[in-house]
């Protein structure tokens, strides 16, 4: 949870967009799809549905943040205000494109989407400048641009040695009934091309992460060596 958030998280059985309470998570997802046209993006590849919904409950309930745009209830920091905003603006959907791909990627596993998804091409190099400059940005293979602040937040989370490791589950396996109901309501999900695009972007981001991790390791080793030279035993 973001340390800057101040409110209370939305319960796993409560609707993200209104005061409706459901018997369980699946009933909640059914309600949100029927009442608010909310569908979990790429549900087939969502490896942690409870985790994703819990996080969205924190984002909305604690941070008063819209999950579709950059609106934050600074002037009126209440759960009712952000829920009203999302209902009135038609923002009862999850934006996970571009920079938002970073925010939610830990809840997804696209590795089964096409044969090369799990592999990393050893001949494909990543050449990057330092992340220290405010003007830094990263252009993904899809053309999406990730800004400096989003990247720094991403690396602080991903390179934190104390960060909880999320065990990947089989994508969508326990929520097949929800996927069936989604499709019965006319939801078609992402196209194969969309999934390949996201997978390529995420593979690229993972290579960049490994590159930055290597750089941090080299810097740490140099600093440790310098410290030993300056302070011989």
Determine the structural domain holding residue 32 and report its residue range.
25-230
**14 belongs to a structural domain:** no
**81 belongs to a structural domain:** yes
> Residue 139 carries which DSSP code?
E
CA distances from 40 to 90, 128, 156, 215 (A): 15, 33, 26, 36
**221 belongs to a structural domain:** yes
In this predicted model, which residue has the larger pLDDT, 81 or 198?
Answer: 81
**12 belongs to a structural domain:** no
Domain count, the chain: 1
Give the mean pLDDT of 128-154. Answer: 66
**152 belongs to a structural domain:** yes
* Axis crossing angle, helix 176-184 with helix 25-36, rounded to the nearest 10: 10
pLDDT digits (tens, 9 = 90+) for 19-76: 999 999 999 999 999 999 999 999 999 999 999 999 999 999 999 999 999 898 887 8
User: Looking at residue 119, what is its pLDDT?
Assistant: 47
Give the mean pLDDT of 206-210. Answer: 76
Token pair, residue 210, equals 């490994």
User: Looking at residue 170, what is its pLDDT?
Assistant: 46
**16 belongs to a structural domain:** no
Nearest of 102, 122, 126 to residue 207 by alpha carbon = 126
**51 belongs to a structural domain:** yes
In this predicted model, which residue has the larger pLDDT, 132 or 206?
Answer: 206
**43 belongs to a structural domain:** yes
Most confident segment among 72-76, 122-126, 166-170: 72-76
Indicate the range of 23-27, 140-144, 227-231 predicted with least confidence: 227-231
């Amino acid at each position: 949870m973001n340390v800057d958030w101040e409110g209370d998280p939305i319960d796993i059985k409560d609707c993200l967009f209104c005061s409706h309470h459901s018997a369980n998570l699946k009933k909640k997802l059914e309600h949100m799809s029927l009442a608010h046209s909310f569908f979990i993006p790429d549900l087939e590849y969502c490896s942690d549905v409870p985790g994703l919904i819990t996080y969205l409950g924190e984002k909305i309930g604690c941070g008063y943040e819209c999950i579709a745009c950059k609106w934050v209830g600074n002037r009126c920091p209440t759960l009712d205000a952000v829920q009203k905003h999302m209902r009135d603006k038609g923002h009862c959907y999850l934006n996970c494109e571009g920079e938002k791909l970073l925010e939610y990627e830990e809840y997804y596993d696209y590795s089964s989407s096409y044969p090369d998804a799990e592999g990393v091409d050893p001949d494909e190099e990543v050449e990057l400048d330092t992340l220290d400059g405010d003007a830094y940005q990263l252009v993904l293979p899809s053309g999406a641009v990730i800004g400096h602040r989003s990247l720094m937040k991403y690396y602080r989370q991903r390179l934190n040695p104390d960060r909880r490791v999320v065990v990947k589950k089989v994508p969508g396996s326990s929520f097949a009934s929800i996927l069936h109901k989604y499709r019965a309501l006319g939801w078609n999900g992402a196209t194969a091309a969309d999934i390949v695009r996201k997978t390529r972007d995420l593979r690229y981001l993972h290579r960049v992460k490994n590159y930055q991790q290597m750089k941090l390791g080299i810097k740490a080793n140099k600093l440790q060596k310098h410290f030993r030279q300056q302070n011989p035993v």
